[in-house]
Each structure stands twice: as structure tokens, then as C-alpha cells.
A and B are shown apart, each in its own frame.
Chain A
Amino acid sequence: MGGARVSRLFGRPALGPLACLAMAALLAQLTALALGSVSLGPGELLDVLAGGGEALHRTLVLELRLPRALAAFGTGALLALAGALMQILLRNPLADPYVLGLSGGASVAALLAMLAGLGATLVGGAAFAGALASTLIVFGLAHGGGSWTPTRLLLTGVVMASGWGAMITFLLAVSPVERLPGMLYWLMGDLAYAGSPWPVLATAAAGLAVVLPLGRTLNVLARGGLQAAALGVAVRPLEWTLYLLASFITAMAVTTAGSVGFVGLMVPHMLRLRLGNDQRLILPASLLAGGTLLTLADTLARTLIAPQQLPVGVITALIGVPTFLYLLQRSQR
């Protein structure tokens, strides 16, 4: 069954898959709100959401769980969107938001802030600054030679990433033991200190608004730079736009939750196996599916061995790897 695609966007909006994903996102949010140290039944949850319910439940759901669930959704959405954009930019389905060293720069800055004993907000700010610094360094180095190709950008980024990797290991090695758990959680991705969900949600909405009109152009770019140029795409400006946009939204995600792995690589890839590669469908679908995956993963991370919490990055990999392998198997039939 070669043509097992769910739907095709051309001609009419592919509302089917997007409606399913939106429904899944909503269910994931409700699940995240209901589960925890005190679990609520559907009736109790509805009471709270309708403005009633017990005071304890109201505090739990509206003040503790809702911001975190929304932050998880926004972060996952950003990572998946950034991954989809990086894959098109580098014409490589195996690219992820961190492939150009962005998370490395963020991590080094965040670990330094932790070593200095700064609070969560300042650690987030340091991560954002580190991510942007790394982006600008890679941008400058790849741009410098004049002739520029996705391969050159990829190589520059990968080399920078391994440099950051060494610095991370160095920082871990010289850090006092009592700080190590916090650092390791940050490196694996952790939503416990996410703070307000609105920055990531707003960035996700703005990011989608910027890339959706570019959808068909990105479809053409996916066929290669020369082919895209021959079909009227101004390739170079588009590529820099993609790079800076993907970097910025990744930096926002990393600032909120540390470097959560897997979502940015696998979500767009999984969706492509089912939905094809029309960016006008894949980009919004990635946003919804990435948000859903991270919401569920974070719910598991804080309930699986409660009261202890796991780094959410561990869960995304544990859910994602078998799901991905299963889809890959099926698509090869």
C-alpha cells in the first residue's frame, strides 16, 4: 500500500488530520490537569474548569498544573516547529533544533549561571543569551567565507556543538556534587521551573504566523536550492530567515525547559511518514503534535515515580523511540 497517506492539502485544507491533532492536544491538556499527587475524576475536573469545585482542587489545577501543562505544550510546539524548519533548511530529515550547536551554547551558559548560584529566572536568561550567542557565532563563521552551502552551515554547527559538549563535560566535572542533580535535570530538560507559559505560547503562535505563508515556498526549497531558485525562490534570504527564526524559537524553548531532546527530531519526521511533506500541513501539525507529546511526557515525568520527578527528556525519548520505530516499520511495508 504505497499511497497510505491520510490526506493531501492541495486544493482543500487538510482539516481532518489537524482536527484530530487539536483534539489530541486538548485531551493531553485535560489529562495533565487531572493527574498528579491528588488525581481528579472527569467530573471534578469539569467542576473546577467551570469555576466551581473544592478550593484545594482549584489551587492544584489552576495555579500549579495549568501553567505547567501550557508551558509543556508551548515548549513542545516550539521544538517540533524548529525541528521541521531546520530539516528543510539543511535539506536533511535527520536535523533537529540542536544540530547547529544551539543547545550547547545555552547549556554552557545555564550551567555557569547555576555554578554561580543564580535563581531559575536568571538561569533561563543565561540560557537564552547562550543560545543566541551560539547562533550568531555559527552564523558568522558559516557566512564568512562568502560561498555558503547547507553542508557548510551543518559542519560549522556540528563542530561548534562538539566544542560546547566538551565544555559541558568540563563544567560538570568541576562542579560541586550538590549542584550536579540540578544540572543534569536541566541538561535532560525539565519543566519544573518553567514559569509563565505565555512567552512560549505567544512565540509558537507568532512563529506559525510567519512560516505558514512561506509553506509552498518551503515545499519547493525542500527539492534543493537550485531547483527552488529555478522556480523563482530567492533562496539565500529565505535560508537566513529560516535559520534565525528556528534559532530564536529554539532559544525560547530551551529557556523554558532546558534542552529537551527528541521532540524536534522525531515529531516532524513521524508526521511526514503519515502525512507527506506539504509544509502547509506539516508545520501546524508539528506544532500540535510536539505540544501534545511534551504535555503527556511531562505528566508522566511528574507522576511516574511521584513524589520524585524525572527529567522530561527521558520520557520523550522513552515514548518517542518505540513509536517512531513502529511507524518506520509500518511505512516500509
Chain B
Amino acid sequence: MTGPAAKGPEGKGLAATGLEARGLVIDVPGRPDGRALDLAIEPGQRWGVLGPNGAGKTTLLHTLAGLRPPRAGEVSLDGTPLARRRRRELARHLGVVFQERHDDFPATVRETALIGRHPFLSPWRQEGPEDYARAEAALERLELSHLAERELATLSGGERQRVSLATVLTQAPRFWLADEPTNHLDLHHQVAIMTLLAEQAERGRGVIMCLHDLNLAARWCSHLLLLYPDGEACWGPAEAMLAPDALERLYDQTLTCVEVDGALVFVPRKSVCAR
């Protein structure tokens, strides 16, 4: 597996079926380029993006989804640059869970899950029984069936977050790009969502998610990408990336690291002791 196509620190060959960034520099205004990213998110992998506020996690996710142009380099899906594909076609392969949402107009939970079918329906087609079945199954999977008729405005933050995930589950993309998928969720639902994403990966979907919780990342991610605020970055298999000193530098926070049930657990030390 050598030759001009082989890229990336892992030395793996160019993925014919993957979401790939080559020489990618995301466009965070007013920041130097930093290190260009060469990533290949392959089916079955669960990538976690870690970094402090403002490090560019959301910008990276949007750039990987083709929603904003990179400053340099390119992102390609199955070997074709995103810029050369139509939006509608991309939406059949890439699903995005947004951190921010705009509920300016009334809509029910079921309607919101159902818009995940939009990229698959021609303009005149009404949603049919099969589309409904997919939306219902997604709502069921996210424990939202009993809220199907509710207005979005009446939901709690955690319920609203699960509706966003239900939309992408209805969309059933090959790659999930999730921006803090556990936002607003209680402990039970945090684990449920991470289980859902792991299950998607087992079925051959690729997952990349921005996370703030180191312990969720340590437990559920196969690969990690650490984004530093100055544009520096490093990435690789999770076990190699979970070095306490690298994480302490990432968050500018001292950590205690212990092993519980075969997994690493990170606990912040009180800042009094830290300095």
C-alpha cells in the first residue's frame, strides 16, 4: 500500500469508500493555518473531536459536511471532492447533527423526524408509508414515540436534542457528523446516544462527533482528533491519543487519570492544586 495515493499518519491506503480530508485547513477567521489535516474516516470508525471552546470543532464538522469552504485542501467522499457533488446527493450520504437549531416556526416532533427523508424524495412526491415507518422507527429508537405529536416549542432541551438525532437516524446517512450529540442529555440518554452511534458504526457507518466529555470519548471512540486553539492538531487511534499530558495541554487543566473496568477515566484536579 504505497504510492502517491497513500496518505495520513496511519499509513493506511486511500479509502475508496470513506470521508477523507486532504491537506485540510479549516477557515477560522483570524487564526493562523496551523497543521493541515489528513484524515480518513472509514466505515465502522468512531471518531471523536476534542478541544477547548473556540478550537474550531464545529467549523471542522461543517467543513467535513461541505457546508462551508475550507481555507486550503479539500474534503472528498468516496474519492470525489465534495465541491463537485450536488448538495442533494451529499445529503444522502452525510447526516449532520447541529448544535444550534432554529425553531422559529411551529413543527411537531414527527414532522421534524420526517424531514430526514427530504433528500430521498422528488419534489412532487408526498411522504409515503415507508417514509413514515422510518420516522416512527427513529422516534421509537430515541424513546420519543410518546412525544410524536408534540410541538418542538414544548420540549425540554434534552428532548429537542434527541429529536435532532431522530432526524438524522431517519435520514440514515453513511456518515454521521454529530456536533456534541450528548448536549443537554441526562446520563441515561448520554449512554443511549453513544450506544446508538456505536451501533451505527457496527453496521458500517462512519461516525465523527465533537465531544466535551473526555470520559465518553475514552469509552466510545475508536479514533480521536485533538484540536488546539492555535490550529495545531494531532490524531490517531484512541488508545494512542489518550495521553494525560497531551490532554492536560489541550484543556490547560491538570487531570488525574485512573483505570476503571479496563477504561481510562479522567478527573479534573481542583485548580488550587494545579498551579
Contacts and interface: CB of A to CB of B under 8 A. Distances in A.
A230 B104 contact: no
Interface in B55-95: 62, 65, 67, 86-92, 94-95
A91 interface: yes
B30 interface: no
Contacts of A87: 105
B249 interface: no
A276 B96 contact: no
B101 A10 contact: no
B102 A91 contact: yes
A231 B111 contact: no
A143 interface: no
A216 B123 contact: yes
Interface string A66-87: 0000000000000000000001
A273 B87 CA distance: 32
Interface stretch (B31-39, B124-132, B219-227, B263-271): B124-132
A277 B126 CA distance: 16
A230 B95 contact: yes
A93 B153 CA distance: 15
A273 B151 CA distance: 12
B108 to A, nearest CB: 7
Interface in B111-136: 111-112, 114-116, 118-119, 121, 123-124, 126-129, 132
B91 A214 contact: no
B104 A93 contact: yes
Interface residues of B, number: 42
A229 B91 CA distance: 8
Contacts of A233: 87-88, 118
A292 interface: no
Contacts of A302: none
* Main secondary structure on A side of the interface with B: loop
A29 B256 CA distance: 78
Chain A contact-residue range equals: 20 to 34
A223 interface: yes
Contacts of B252: none
A230 B150 contact: no
B132 A11 contact: yes
Interface string A52-69: 000000000000000000
B149 interface: yes
Contacts of B95: 230
Nearest to A9: B126
Contacts of A92: 104
Contacts of B106: 272-273, 276-277
A226 B58 CA distance: 12
B107 interface: yes
B213 to A, nearest CB: 24
A3 B111 contact: no
A224 B67 contact: no
B123 A223 contact: no
A240 to B, nearest CB: 15
A10 B119 contact: no
A220 interface: yes
Given A226-B62, A227-B101, A277 B107 contact: yes
Contacts of B87: 229, 232-234
Highest count of chain B CB atoms <10 Å: which of A3, A220, A230: A230
Contacts of A277: 105-107
A156 interface: no
Highest count of chain B CB atoms <10 Å: which of A10, A224, A233: A10
Nearest to A282: B105
Given A10-B127, A223-B115, A230 B105 contact: no
A307 to B, nearest CB: 44
Contacts of A224: 101-102
B105 A272 contact: yes
A2 B109 CA distance: 12
A58 to B, nearest CB: 43
Contacts of B88: 232-234
B104 to A, nearest CB: 5
13 contacts: A2-B154, A3-B108, A3-B149, A10-B127, A87-B105, A93-B105, A213-B123, A226-B98, A230-B91, A231-B119, A233-B87, A272-B106, A276-B107
Interface of A: 2-3, 8-12, 87, 91-93, 213-214, 216-217, 219-220, 222-224, 226-227, 229-234, 272-273, 276-278
Interface of B: 62, 65, 67, 86-92, 94-96, 98, 101-108, 111-112, 114-116, 118-119, 121, 123-124, 126-129, 132, 149-151, 154, 171
Given A8-B111, A227-B102, 8 more contacts: A9-B126, A216-B121, A226-B67, A230-B91, A230-B96, A231-B91, A232-B91, A276-B106
